[in-house]
Structure 1
């Protein structure tokens, strides 16, 4: 890999680039990411201004290596714990090579993939029957009649056959080989890159990363390959590259790198936090569906519907009845400034649409490094109270399990 000039940014920070630091291909890729609201690229008379949005990770361009680090929400030493929690996969065991350093968190994800792949190698890679065509002197497997007639013209000295042998060259393993190869090109740690490369040799590979990503979308998990799910989850992040705009969805922007939108990560964290926090008290999450969404009709265009990030069903004072509590995830510094009017309006709408009429309420959950926080907004009008909005700050320096217990004590 050619030497690239390292550039380090925090979320929402800007950096000025010289005109010759970006190739035409780089500009196209950055504009594609800008369309997905991952970053902003603006020209000036003598160069470019690159502004990071709420996206973190590493982006490898032709002449630059851009690292965007989390600014406030989740520190590097806890990022993999929270990412694993949001994805619902086991947290990899910590290792010395896990260091955010100047590489953002790309090395963390690469190391997590490496650990899962090493575990699969120790257990033995899964094998399955693979169909292959070959020419043999004796019949083995099934005779390929069409190939025999069109290529050998009826001669039987060589037989075109299709065999079915148990091999490791199946898609469960191919996608991991491609992901390991991709990861080795993203890390600047020589030791980690060397280990990734040597491990990749033990796995078959797909023809292209795009083919591997398509295969990941087709893989169905059973008891035979369930142990592959954590490794595949890390592989999906790496193979998605700069196209990751939701937690695990590829929107088509192509660039070498590993980018993750922090608001999407926080929404996934809050959905699992809230669901697990109320489970011991008889609560559960209400699945998304158009039947319980708030709808807007009568405007120009189609009917629109919206709902909070999480809707919880909780037992009421009367055990025979239940109440709905809308919860919204906000990736904002509500530990440092007040709640904006737009968010107040949004949460009031949720409380009126879902919460009991005699006690309209809603919850905002935001990241707060270094401690928990709870405050309540009481919204009133000329005819009395309109609703209560609880603002809950989750300590992202803590482990997710501890945050779950604290949140449960507040939502109870």
Structure 2
């Protein structure tokens, strides 16, 4: 397989692609910049491709070529980081003859989704009250007027039933039905078929990203979140298809700062940190005194440890280098990041932590600001098993 390797921060480059590959690339624009230039005179097309800001991932093109965008920080295993960010259970070490460690990223995504759905089925499908309408030979719920006597003795009934035909189950079935034909591994395909058997009574829909946006998670269906996240990621890439034929070009691209935030939160929970809240909003730090307009000003840190009224630590995660070089060639901390964590710590009256992935400089330092401790630390994601992230999470848990 011919691979084109890019890094998250690389500039766009020119490459030649076949018309079939170009059609697939057009569908991968959610993760790549694709600028069509001109035909090269030999049946190909010159295209300028590059990473879209903040995205990393992979797309496999018809014909065997693959474009891979690597994160700007060294990550030992991106699938492993994704597993920590997206999952409730670790990815299965093998599925039949396909090992996760040696599989392509898109193979990993299929295996991981199968494992998550299997775990979800073990806990039981969520049921909910669903509005239904059908013609019945008896009265159930409300009946609508019979406009066509030929329909008698059947009645047009509307009623509410407590069934598994809920929006989240419909989405899972729709995505699994879409992905199942492309699963090559027999063991994984069997898992998909088993899951679809359990979802047989759920309505089949054509899934879209809009469907995911309309699903509201609460305490009753929060355990669906990992499966829905993976299903959405798979759906975003499953549409990369050569419209002139039947060859699919599986792809996935993820926003690395979101993955970094989710993975760090998951590692902290695994380390035993309790009362960890993601993206809380506080509107009481800025109090309007006079003048117009009277607008509410809110702050929204990435993570807060502790109860809302008495937080113990505020954590802000940055996907970028911890140090910059000034015009005199000296290394310095990033002032905007310091101002931000200082504002959070002062507003919430607690200590603050800036957490970065290790890129160039290793930093583990502590400052005192306005009576609050401000910690700045880098985390090495290049260690096997994400040992650096888990070690940092354990250190944070021990310090709380």
TM class by smaller structure? 0.5 to 0.7
- Tell me the distance in 1 between the aligned counterparts of 2:84 and 2:277: 18
2:378 alignment counterpart = 392
2:253 alignment counterpart = 259
- Tell me the distance in 2 between the aligned counterparts of 1:403 and 1:209: 39
- Tell me the distance in 2 between the aligned counterparts of 1:257 and 1:139: 50
- Tell me the distance in 1 between the aligned counterparts of 2:140 and 2:231: 35
Matched ranges for 1:118-157 at <5 A: 118-121=118-121, 125=125, 131-134=132-135, 138-139=137-138, 141=140, 144-146=143-145, 148=146, 150-152=147-149, 156=152
- Tell me the distance in 2 between the aligned counterparts of 1:175 and 1:257: 19
- Tell me the distance in 2 between the aligned counterparts of 1:79 and 1:185: 22
Higher relative contact order (CA closer than 8 Å, sequence separation 6+): 2
Matched residues, number: 355
1:268-325 C-alpha deviation (Å, 9 max, x unpaired): 3345556887957x99888323443799xx9xxx9997765445679xxxxxx98986
Distance 1:330 1:186, change over 3 A: farther
1:349 alignment counterpart = 339
> Of the candidates 194, 208, 220, which is equivalent to residue 210 of structure 1?
208
Distance 1:193 1:6, change over 3 A: farther
- Tell me the distance in 1 between the aligned counterparts of 2:14 and 2:182: 23
Distance 1:63 1:162, change over 3 A: farther
Q: Is the 8 A contact 1:180 1:199 kept in 2?
A: no
1:179 alignment counterpart = 175
2:324 alignment counterpart = 339
| Structure 1 position 183, deviation (Å) | 3.4
- Tell me the distance in 1 between the aligned counterparts of 2:120 and 2:302: 35
- Tell me the distance in 1 between the aligned counterparts of 2:276 and 2:182: 43
Q: Flag structure 2 segments of 5+ consecutive residues without an equivalent.
A: 41-45, 240-248, 327-331
- What is the root-mean-square deviation of aligned Cα atoms in Å? 5.0
1:381-410 C-alpha deviation (Å, 9 max, x unpaired): xxxxxx97623324453355443113345x
- Tell me the distance in 2 between the aligned counterparts of 1:193 and 1:262: 27
1:330 alignment counterpart = 318
| Structure 1 position 220, deviation (Å) | 4.7
Q: Is the 8 A contact 2:118 2:195 kept in 1?
A: no
- Aligned residue for 1:239, secondary structure, equals helix
| Structure 1 position 176, deviation (Å) | 1.6
Distance 1:325 1:183, change over 3 A: same
2:107 alignment counterpart = 107
1:376 equivalent in alignment to 2:365: yes
- Tell me the distance in 2 between the aligned counterparts of 1:79 and 1:24: 26
- Aligned residue for 1:232, secondary structure, equals helix
Q: Is the 8 A contact 2:171 2:205 kept in 1?
A: no
| Structure 1 position 48, deviation (Å) | 0.9
- Aligned residue for 2:48, secondary structure, equals strand
| Structure 1 position 332, deviation (Å) | 3.2
| Structure 1 position 265, deviation (Å) | 0.8
Distance 1:294 1:277, change over 3 A: farther
1:251 alignment counterpart = none
1:162 alignment counterpart = 157
> Of the candidates 34, 44, 47, which is equivalent to residue 41 of structure 1?
34
2:355 alignment counterpart = 365
Q: Flag structure 1 segments of 5+ consecutive residues without an equivalent.
A: 244-254, 315-320, 380-386
| Structure 1 position 159, deviation (Å) | 1.6
